[in-house]
Amino acid sequence: MRSPAPARRRRPQRLVVAVAASALLAGTLVATATAPAAAADTCTVGTVCQTETAQLSGGAHATTNHRGYAGTGFVDGYGTQARPVVGADTRWPVTAAGEYVATVRYANADPGDGSSAARTLGVYGDDTRLGTLTLPPTGSWDAWATAHVTVTLPAGTGTVGLRCGAGDGCMVNLDYLALSAPGAPVPQPAEQCRRTGGLHDDAGLIGWEGDTDGVVVCRNGSFYLRDGRNTAEGFGVAAAPTRLTWSTVDGYLPALASTFTTADGARVTVTDFADRVTVGGADYVAVYSRVSVHNPTTRPLTVDPAPTRDLVPLDRNGNTVAPGGTVRHDYVVAADRFGGTQPWPDAAALTAAGGYDPHFGHMKRYWDGRLGQLAHLDALPDPSLAEAYKSGYVSTLIAKDGVRLNTGENGYDEEYSHDSIGILATQFGLGDFDDASALLLRLRDLIGGQPQYVDGVWKYAWPWAVYLAKTGDVDTVRAHFATEGPAGRSQPSIMDTAHQIAADRTGPGGIMRMTNDIDSNGYWTIDDFSALTGLASYRYLAQRLGETGEADWAAKEYDALLDATNATLTKTMGDNGIDYLPCSILEPNTANRCNVATDANWAAPFLFGRWNWDGYLLGARQDGPALDAVDATYAYGFGRIGDSLPAHDFGGYPGALYSSAYNAGYGAAGLRGSTHRDEAIRAYQMMIRYTQAGPYSWWESTSAPDPDSAWTGSHPGHGNGSAPHAWGISTANKALLDSLVAQRMNGDLLVGRGIPVSWTGRPVRVSNVPTLDGGRVSLAISGTQRQLSVTVTGAGRQRILVQLPVLARGVTAVSAGTYADGTVTLPAGTGHVTITLGR
């Protein structure tokens, strides 16, 4: 049965929607929600037979509009408008004969008339009814249960099916059928990712930089292959653990390890990672899996990993594990072809390409090398922040297709303008300049061809400004400053997008025009902030390039827009008696979507607009309520939320209002205020503690934690958008680094501006931080609750401003520089200071 899909927050769900294909075959209507298969797989005894891959007829069809199913979907069509559809049929070829237990996983809820009742369905061998399943209510269409009946398949039976016969109640959804011998364990699906609307609810990611289809990994170590294969792979031994841990290997690598205990006491760990391999001259991504079985008991144990059929064994170790011993089983399967169409390598070729350990070593060396280019978070009081920083960055590289900065793999597997701009600005800000020119030009093409989010057009100059500031590469920027690509305005110059801001100032009083930039139409404050950020970036570029005319134009346009923005905010805030920055620059939050306290768009100006913090780094003029209301807006938003969410949680979006992947990013503007300077770090810690959908993976929009999750800790029941979400992760990583050390375009180094007071006296060490024109600096903070030692190396001629929030409580002495108003200022050439706190 169908019910409306949950609303998405920012944009329509980015799924490839397959139109139901139908054909009249022997008088029977066959329909499927994906491309029709030539024939269903045989339903083998002892395995799970997914309904969505079966032969469907009589109105039965595959879909994904509820969550919690196994495989790639489920089947409905057994009832419509609270009436059974007699003849609806789900069927598989079968070669077995004899007595078997037929187990069906199903959902049974209100079919539309308010009723709740047990319903029946027939099990058929060919056209002969062999038994009747009784299917009690499950409470909702997202809740699933199993039922079974013993049947005898006569010799020569060609198919087994689940059919709505005359007199049956039907009106259920079907997930899978499993046939097992009487007394034998009931088969379980290898894949245990719950699903909502085609997305995996428990979602980790492995793969390779620039691959086409990253591999979504489920909490029990099963995983889903795409690139045309569309198969779930995994291990029967891990089918349904009641409790498990799930983590990244070494805390950050794209190698995910699930550990659980079997019913007979074996301790099992399933580890999956991906490596780039070359077979026959062609490049592939291959997934390597290890099932490690440890026996802590005093008796031998026999544990069969039970791999799915596509997994190629790399060893032939036995299944019996001696007391105190460990047995490992390694497997491989090809997962991606980097956009190619070459044939998949066979088992012999994959085996010849090498075993698990050498490929793990290659994978680790590659990612350590990529992470080595970034600013390093060498020591933090909360080590999980450094792990999330590294792991999340790797996820953004796996989500990337070539030079296309996609937002996700498990949902949103494509580019979106303002997403890609934020991802790329963070990449440069963290110190990664690989393929910088190609990425910037791909961003140009995206901006020119995708008008959905116009704030992306207005902020296009921002990543260029960050790139120029960090590298000093004037020549690359100059080549594209005023010159369009070969296709003209569809490949705009930086100048084109800056001047578009002036053309789009058609809102009341000279503000920006109406947009849909937060997925509702309105005059959103983020748009004026985005345009200000774009103009400040453009002015910086023009100044660096010596384009004085354009720099002067940008300065005048910026001042005019800031004056219009502040005048409009002053009127809106005064007329409505509010002291916070409203979502809409023309009305209070009670008048639009931000009326919902847990809709995180109440903080949208702080993140998507970028202006409060990044405008400051750019050296732009900042004044008026646009700046002065920062602290009051945080107080207002968190005050409305109260105790309904954890502290430092900004909320989510319709359909999943608990939290979001942007949570830490929303805290970045606190760096520009006084009372919420540590908000980015605190909000990132909240994400790590409560809302991981996979190890260091977050949904764009997150539901409340699932108390019944088998994964230890607090994890959401489901989410919307994508998980992992590259843009959300990039905003968190940028805000974290900026909280530790940042640099303004005038050269000033800002040290510790967002470090929590509770970290006082605990070591903080950061190195390899990119600074102006190719520089790199390191920072070390140590000491006690009363005295701090701050050392910055590599600053050269830059002034250093030590701005830890604890300094605002008073300082009694400094060994170098001067102290005033919460800031210790060190002149150029001075890289160390001892600070005695006044408390």
Please indicate, yes or no, if residue 461 is contained in any of the structural domains: yes
Q: pLDDT digits over 490-511, tens only?
A: 999 999 999 999 999 999 999 9
Contact present, 303 and 273 (Cβ < 8 Å) = no
665's tokens: 């990013």
**Predicted local distance difference test score (pLDDT) of residue 115:** 84
Residue predicted with more confidence, 658 or 28 = 658
Domain boundary among 180, 213, 238: 180
Q: Is the pLDDT of residue 805 over 80?
A: yes
CA distance 348 to 412: 35
Same domain, 470 and 555: yes
Please indicate, yes or no, if residue 374 is contained in any of the structural domains: no
Q: Is the pLDDT of residue 513 over 70?
A: yes
Length of the chain: 839
Same domain, 33 and 127: yes
**Predicted local distance difference test score (pLDDT) of residue 839:** 67
Instruction: Please give the average per-residue pLDDT across 185-205, as a whole number.
Output: 70
Please indicate, yes or no, if residue 725 is contained in any of the structural domains: yes
**Predicted local distance difference test score (pLDDT) of residue 196:** 61
Least confident of 23-37, 556-570, 664-678: 23-37
Contact present, 753 and 742 (Cβ < 8 Å) = yes
Domain boundary among 743, 777, 810: 743
Q: pLDDT digits over 654-700, tens only?
A: 989 999 999 999 999 999 999 999 999 999 999 999 999 999 999 99
Note if the bond before 724 is cis, omega within 30 degrees. Answer: yes
Q: Is the pLDDT of residue 571 over 90?
A: yes
316's tokens: 């032939």
Please indicate, yes or no, if residue 15 is contained in any of the structural domains: no
CB atoms within 10 A of CB 154: 11
Q: Is the pLDDT of residue 35 over 80?
A: no
The whole domain housing 763 covers 749-837
Q: pLDDT digits over 334-388, tens only?
A: 999 999 999 999 999 999 999 999 999 999 999 999 999 999 999 999 999 999 9
Same domain, 213 and 310: yes
Domain boundary among 132, 149, 180: 180
Q: Is the pLDDT of residue 7 over 60?
A: no
Please indicate, yes or no, if residue 254 is contained in any of the structural domains: yes
Same domain, 800 and 733: no
CA distance 623 to 350: 62
Residue in this structure with the two tokens 């061998």, named with its chain if needed: 125
Same domain, 227 and 355: yes
Q: Is the pLDDT of residue 285 over 90?
A: yes
Question: What is the DSSP code (8-state) at residue 241?
Answer: -
Same domain, 660 and 596: yes
Please indicate, yes or no, if residue 372 is contained in any of the structural domains: no
Phi and psi of 602, rounded to 5°?
Answer: -60, -25
Q: pLDDT digits over 430-473, tens only?
A: 999 999 999 999 999 999 986 678 999 999 999 999 999 999 99
**Predicted local distance difference test score (pLDDT) of residue 2:** 33
Please indicate, yes or no, if residue 550 is contained in any of the structural domains: yes
- Average predicted confidence (pLDDT) for the chain: 91
Q: How confident is the model at residue 229 (pLDDT cuts 50, 70, 90)?
A: confident
Q: How confident is the model at residue 33 (pLDDT cuts 50, 70, 90)?
A: very low
CATH code (residue 607)? 1.50.10.10
Same domain, 575 and 481: yes
Same domain, 735 and 753: no
Domain count, the chain: 4
Same domain, 315 and 442: no
Instruction: Please give the average per-residue pLDDT across 583-607, as a whole number.
Output: 96
Least confident of 37-41, 345-349, 476-480, 532-536: 37-41
Residue predicted with more confidence, 49 or 652 = 652
Q: How confident is the model at residue 718 (pLDDT cuts 50, 70, 90)?
A: confident
Tell me the C-alpha to C-alpha distance, in Å, between residue 299 and each of 320, 325, 835: 10, 10, 62
3-state secondary structure of 566: helix
Same domain, 681 and 823: no
**Predicted local distance difference test score (pLDDT) of residue 8:** 35
Q: Is the pLDDT of residue 81 over 80?
A: no
CATH code (residue 166)? 2.60.120.260
With pLDDT > 70 as the criterion, what percentage of the chain qualifies?
Answer: 93
According to the per-residue pLDDT averaged within each range, which of 87-96, 166-175, 234-243, 580-589 is highest? Answer: 580-589
Q: How confident is the model at residue 195 (pLDDT cuts 50, 70, 90)?
A: low
3-state SS track over 44-61: CCCCEEEHHHCEEECCCE
**Predicted local distance difference test score (pLDDT) of residue 194:** 63
Same domain, 361 and 389: no
768's tokens: 């390899």
Instruction: Please give the average per-residue pLDDT across 738-742, as a whole number.
Output: 98
Contact present, 785 and 761 (Cβ < 8 Å) = yes
Q: How confident is the model at residue 14 (pLDDT cuts 50, 70, 90)?
A: very low
**Predicted local distance difference test score (pLDDT) of residue 20:** 27
**Predicted local distance difference test score (pLDDT) of residue 27:** 24
**Predicted local distance difference test score (pLDDT) of residue 263:** 87
Distance of CA 158 to the CA centre of its chain: 44
Q: How confident is the model at residue 162 (pLDDT cuts 50, 70, 90)?
A: very high
Residue 722, burial from CB neighbour count under 10 angstroms (0-12, 13-18, 19+):
buried
Same domain, 615 and 506: yes
Specify the DSSP element, H or E, that contains 334: strand 326-336
Please indicate, yes or no, if residue 4 is contained in any of the structural domains: no
Q: Is the pLDDT of residue 3 over 60?
A: no
